[in-house]
Amino acid sequence: MNLRVIKSPAEMRAYSDSIRAAGKTIGLVPTMGYLHEGHLSLVRKANELADITIVSIFVNPTQFAPGEDLDSYPRDFVRDRELLVRNNTDVIFYPEPKDIYGKNHKTAINTKGITNILEGSTRPTHFQGVTTIVSILFNIIKPHVAIFGQKDAQQAAVIKRMTQDLHFGIDINIHPIVREIDGLAMSSRNIYLSKSEREDALVLSKSIQRAEELIREKINDAVTIIAEMRKIVHSVKSSDLDYISFVESDSFEKVNNLVEGREYYILIACRIGKTRLIDNSLITF
């Protein structure tokens, strides 16, 4: 199979137009590269849902705040391309920042409310960067369906909201979290962890597993469950907890009392040493 690498937005647009004119559907997987099995599961989903699979690789500068890891973010295009060949990708869209954000770029997309809490509270400019780049990618690539990971559950909810609000007419598909065998959610940033931090990082998935157990026991008080989760997080010295929260799965509104039959996310963000990690679980009480 021939995998094409397209760098220019104009060429990408022309390619997508030709695919649409031929009556075929396009599935898009937006990524920042340094791919792992989590990303590849989204690619395989795109293969299932659409005729043509396009993966974008773009470390988007506008979603990083000053002092965050934009410059050190891991990159390995040769390896990414090899993995995508093996997973039946048709096109990699691999633009340069200057081709996406022109010199006079002045426009940003802002989704209100849901972007100010949790991840948005710690990273106030993050979601505006995400919604802006995803809109730009949607406009260039014109996919029929876009696949995002539940790993970034709040991001997925923000993108769903934006896609509806701006009438993009694109189907947003959310794919479950892929984990390492020991439970750690796969992330390009896991490469930052030292050997001992890699061990300590298990407190995120372990605390979530503990919460799931308590939920199976029908403990409906989020405060009690969060206290149990905190104990696990604080059992390692390298941890610095940012938040643990229970939210309604659609609105992302915080909840304290879990109600029978309702769907919630349990969300955690925690630093292990210098590396900020997130994890979550979608549960029905």
Tell which one of 40, 42, 118, 233 touches ligand AMP (CB under 6 A): 42
* Least Cβ distance, residue 153 to ligand AMP (angstroms): 8
Considering only 179-187, 216-224, 233-241, 260-268, which stretch makes contact with ligand AMP by CB under 6 A?
A: 179-187
Count of all residues that appear for the chain in the document? 285
Would you count residue 53 as binding ligand AMP (CB under 6 A)? no
Nearest to 142 by CA among 58, 28, 42, 30: 28
What residues contact 85, with CB distance under 8 A and at least 6 apart? 1, 3
Question: Backbone phi, then psi, for 161, in 5-degree steps?
Answer: -60, -50
State the nearest-atom distance from the C-beta of 14 to ligand AMP, in Å.
Answer: 25
Does position 32 interact with ligand AMP (CB under 6 A)? The reply is yes
- Residue 83's Cβ-count burial label (10 Å; 0-12, 13-18, 19+) is middle
Longest CA–CA separation in the chain, Å = 58
Measured distance CA(26)–CA(122) in Å, rounded:
34
Six-digit token string for 167: 């009438």
User: Is residue 175 annotated as a catalytic residue, yes or no?
Assistant: no
Nearest 5°: CA angle at 169, between 249 and 111? 50
Distance of CA 124 to the CA centre of its chain: 17
188 binds ligand AMP (CB under 6 A): yes
CB of 231 to ligand AMP, least distance (A): 25
Whole-Å CA distances, 224 to 80, 184, 230, 268: 43, 24, 10, 15
| Binding of ligand AMP by 49 (CB under 6 A) | no
- Phi then psi for residue 127, to 5 deg, are -70, -30
Among 56, 62, 131, 187, binds ligand AMP (CB under 6 A): 187
The only residue of 39, 45, 142, 144 in contact with ligand AMP, by rule CB under 6 A: 39
Stretch that binds ligand AMP, among 32-40, 71-79, 231-239, 243-251 (CB under 6 A): 32-40
Q: How far apart are CA 280 and CA 67, in angstroms?
A: 25
Which segment (118-126, 183-191, 206-214, 231-239) binds ligand AMP by CB under 6 A? 183-191
The least CB distance from residue 172 to ligand AMP, in Å, is: 10
Span from 4-12, 119-127, 170-178, 265-273 in contact with ligand AMP (CB under 6 A): 170-178
Of 50, 84, 92, 186, the residue at the interface with ligand AMP (CB under 6 A) is 186
Q: Is position 38 an interface residue for ligand AMP (rule: CB under 6 A)?
A: yes
**Structural element, H or E, at residue 91:** strand 91-93
Amino acid letter at 245? Answer: S
**Is residue 161 part of the contact set for ligand AMP (CB under 6 A)?**
no
Interface residues with ligand AMP (CB under 6 A)?
31-32, 38-39, 41-42, 148-149, 151-152, 175, 177-178, 185-188
Q: What positions carry a catalytic annotation?
A: 39
